[in-house]
Amino acid sequence: MKLKLLGFCLVILMFSCKEDTKDKAMAEREIQHYTIEQFMDNEAVGGGSFSADNSQVLVSSNRSGIYNVYTIPVEGGEMTAVTQSDSTSIFAESYFPNDNRMLLSADGNGDEIDHLFVRELDGTIKDITPEKGAKSNFYGWSEDDNYLYFGSNKRNPKYFDIYKMSIDDYTSEMIYQDDTGLSFSGMSDDENYFALSKNLNTNDTDLFLYNVNTKEKIKINDNQSGNSAEDFSKDHSTFYYTTDDGSEFAYLMAYDLATKEKKKVAEKSWDIMGSGFTSQGSYLVIYVNEDGKNVIEVLDSQSMSPIDLPDFGDKSITSVSFSDDEKWMRMYVGGSNAPSDLYTYNLETKAQHKLTNVLNSAINAEDLVTAKVVRYKSFDGTVIPAIYYVPHQASKDHKVPAMVWVHGGPGGQTRQGFSSLIQYMVNHGYAVLAVNNRGSSGYGKTFYQMDDLNHGEKDLQDCVEGKNWLATQPEIDGDKIGIIGGSYGGYMTMAALTYTPEEFDVGVNIYGVTNWIRTLKSIPPYWESFRESLYLELGDPYSADSTRLKRISPLFHTDKVTKPLIVLQGAQDPRVLQVESDEIVAGVRKNNVPVEYVLFEDEGHGFIKKENQIEAYSRILKFLDTHLKKEKAPVDGETESTEIEVEDATK
């Protein structure tokens, strides 16, 4: 009987194994591969200002191919276009407090010179900050709703003064003049206090309160630390800020404006990255950067206890804001495998409404991949966090190529959010390891400062160790691993191909820095407030640091590059100038290495227009398919087709 039972179990096991194999094979066959057009037909929606009567929500959306402004009924319905630009992206800032006028913003095709516009009740749009070459930032509305506050560098390109503008005739007056490079960080509703900050280095910031009446400027932090203004209480008695004084992570503090006493309000095991009160002060919202993921708490400001929020299962609430009467809350909800949708939630009735369906209906959500957080040890034992995306079809029997993804910055962080480009690559059979190398934010201030004055060295080794970690994974083809990144990540791509030329098989450089001396000398004038801290982190190009900066700049070492490269650049980029990419392409082409160059005349530091994103991402995938997925060329010489490929690539 036992033998029969064992035999039966064996049959069941064999049948189960066959079914598992069959299911696995079916899963591999059933994963649909989507075009870049399908991925880019996902809609990106941002903002969410409530109209004065709570009937509409004002948002930005790229459904037209670039960003325009739309309204949506608060309980859901059709989007109505407010703007119909076909060239420059326009973004929603806010409804006016007491009527249906709208505050909008736009720059010049990515040049970052933002202006503020009003969409009047009759539909006309007026530039209310028309000064040529001046950048304007919206700061908020006055307590009596009769004015808007904004910052502008029209007086001096290096500094942002604070202005108060009448919403009746759009005349403005300066209420704070900055001549020292302090950054505006907030203001009390009664206009008696301004919060100002001064960057000291990568992590540390001095925080000040400026008393408008007495002209006194009080330094809030006692020790050198990372500090950030958050909000003022609605009764004008207390100033709230975050600090990492004495801690690896930022926590929330309260400062009594009368007694100057301080007390800790909230502390987590990760950075509290933001906090603020709702319009009437009934709720306090706290944002926590928990292992690369937004965790949001909405607290009752009297009891400081969390209120119940809707449960979205495996998706997360990534952003919230409230109507002025605090009856409505808008929420963005998404995850690494789902672009964020906009919801509204009535706090009185507890009814919630889904306002958008941003995922293209042609895409099966089950075909998208959920990222997971992994960690590995670098060359010196430092533990490096990373976000890992594995194609559904990958296995030890079906190994896939992989890309090491490096974020922008320096000091950025790859987070557990949705990326069309990453999902597109993963959907087409590439694993992606998004490395948060030393110097990344979100993992404590010690980790954050670990790359100061050693960029292209220890941080690069963290990326190489990420490649080595990938090569040990059973589902990865260790002989086919490349590197990709934008801005600082683009620099890391070029540094990898230059200083560790045999480690990665291909490189994708998206508007990456290649000449640190020129980049640091040509930063926009409106970066003056943190120019010195940037020099402390990277090096001063006007000092002896220039020797090191030249040594770590890939442009001066292009003869070392031996692996295929694609470079993508926006001609209007004010941060990484087009000449950076022009010269790195010219330099690498001298090595008779396959090089592709994709230049967009109407983009800046980041590609916003859908047609350009489609072109950029499809070119990246084609490049990877050609140079990473292909079988390696014979060792004893190039084939004829390879020579043609190189020739075509270098025209």
Please tell me the distance from the alpha carbon of residue 349 to that of residue 327, in angstroms, as a whole number: 9
The pLDDT value recorded for residue 631 is 46
Burial annotation 496-532 (CB, 10 A radius, 16+ → b, else e)? bbbbbeebbbbbbbbbbbbbbbbbbeebbebebbbbe
What is the Cα–Cα distance from 579 to 382, expressed in whole angstroms? 36
Identify the DSSP state of 522.
S
pLDDT for 645 equals: 29
Q: Which residues pair with 140 in a beta bridge?
A: 149
Dump pLDDT digits (tens) for 297-337: 999 999 999 999 999 988 999 999 999 999 999 999 999 99
User: What is the pTM for the complete model shown?
Assistant: 0.90
Q: pLDDT below 70 — which residues of the chain?
A: 1-29, 631-651
- The candidate with the shortest Cα–Cα distance to 195, out of 176, 205, 208, is 208
Question: Alpha carbon 136 to chain centroid distance?
Answer: 21
For residue 624, CA distances in Å to 104, 403, 611 come to 39, 10, 20
Per DSSP, the three-state class of 227 is strand
Regarding the domain delimited by 371-515+553-649, which CATH topology (the fold level of the hierarchy) does it fall under?
Rossmann fold (3.40.50)
Residue whose pair of structure tokens reads 């990246």 in the numeric block: 620
Q: What angle do CA 385, 391, 394 make, to 5 degrees?
A: 105
Q: How far apart are CA 320 and CA 409, in angstroms?
A: 25
Contact 400, 430 (CB under 8 A): yes
pLDDT of residue 1: 33
Contact 122, 135 (CB under 8 A): no
Print burial letters for 186-200: b (CB count within 10 Å at least 16), e (below 16): bbbbebbbbbbbbbb
How far is Cα 118 from Cα 104, in angstroms, rounded to an integer?
6
The alpha carbon of 17 is separated from its chain's Cα centroid by a whole number of angstroms, namely 43
Q: Helices 458-471 and 488-499 meet at what angle, rounded to 10? A: 80
Answer whether 435's CB lies under 8 Å from 342's CB: no
> What is the chain's length?
651
All CATH 3.40.50.1820 domain ranges in the chain, comma separated: 371-515+553-649
| Dist CA 591 CA 284 (whole Å) | 58
Reported as half-sphere exposure (CB side, CA atoms, 13 A), residue 325 has a value of 12
For residues 328 and 349, give the distance between their C-alpha atoms in angstroms, rounded to a whole number. Answer: 10
CA distances 584 to 110, 145, 484, 594, 623, Å, are: 22, 52, 16, 13, 18
581 and 598 Cβ atoms separated by less than 8 Å: no
Residue 187, φ and ψ in degrees, nearest 5: -155, 145
Q: Is the dihedral of CA 404, 408, 413, 419 positive or negative?
A: negative
- Angle, CA 565 vertex, CA 559 and CA 571 arms, to 5°: 100
